[in-house]
Amino acid sequence: MSILAQKNTKVLVQGITGTQASFHVKRSMDYGTNIVAGVTPGKGGMLHLGVPVFNTVKDAVAQTNASASIMFVPAHAVKSAVVEASEAGLNLVVCISDKVPVRDMLEVRNILKNNQTHFIGPNTPGLITPNEARLGIFPENIHTPGNIGVVSRSSTLTYEAVLEIRRAGLGQSTVVGLGDDIIIGMNFVDILSAFMADEQTKAIVMIGQLDGTFEELAAQWYRNCCGKKPVICFIAGHSQVFNTTVGYAGDIITHGKITSEEKKKILSDAGIIVVEQINHIHQELQKLQL
């Protein structure tokens, strides 16, 4: 069935009348995404790209029963837009915006901690369920339906992973870009858990990077989870060292630095298949004989 968004998912767009939003939303609509409404304060009552525009998310949800949002709003407006989407009861919010202030994201994470809204991003290409729904800016022509889930912290390498899956003669169930920022909404554990529960998904490709401890937490979760599906992982930035000081807690966790070799060892010890080069992914997929 894939995860998070399918053909019947009703989607609204926050900031639909902007230039970038208009361009990408039109492509999503042409792809078959069920875009039912837009939201731009002060422009309620008009039609844009053939869908009704509302002043508030609450009004849009009341009129269309939308359950998901794509967010094309300025960085400084993300926090208030998330609050509005959450209060309207949306199940999923995908935030494309970049340069969202760290303090705002800390508040967003706290706001969403105890409610039903799943937040992807910020600074993400979004998610795509091939031939069903495109919530974001993915180059839709490279995707084909199949049984490989993809979850990535690197926007551009997500596309490389998809091409590797195609080289293996396979397709994707759903592709999720978590976002490149150090503070994000849904993480590897959230998405891996959803893929493990999805009958269509038979294996997962995971793209990590150096900043943060998202990969280590995913390894710990995978080590202890039941009913494991194969996970193939590539860590970007093998020639670099992440040594940003983020405070005492961060230094205790990372010992002041994280190397790709440390991450890869932790992942491998947990049973995840780690590849040294991204172009080795298709070879590992072929070995699985799915």
Residues 112 and 150 in one domain: no
Residues of the chain with pLDDT under 70: 238-258
Give domain status of residue 6, yes or no: no
Instruction: Tell me whether residue 138 is in a domain.
Output: no
Looking at residue 254, its pLDDT comes to: 52
Q: How far apart are the C-alpha atoms of 274 and 162, rounded to whole Å?
A: 17
**pLDDT score for 250:** 44
How far CA 81 is from CA of 14, 105, 135, 180, 204, in Å, comes to 8, 12, 17, 20, 31
pLDDT value at position 248? 38
The pLDDT of residue 241: 47
* CATH at residue 160: 3.40.50.261
> With b meaning 16 or more CB within 10 Å and e meaning fewer, what string describes 54-83?
beebeebbeebebbbbbbbbeeebbbebbb
In a domain, 65, yes or no: yes
Q: What pTM was estimated for this model as a whole?
A: 0.92
Amino acid identity for residue 43 in this structure? K
If asked whether residues 279 and 160 sit together in one domain, one would say: yes
Q: Residue 60 is part of which domain span?
A: 11-120
Domain of 55, CATH number, reads 3.40.50.720
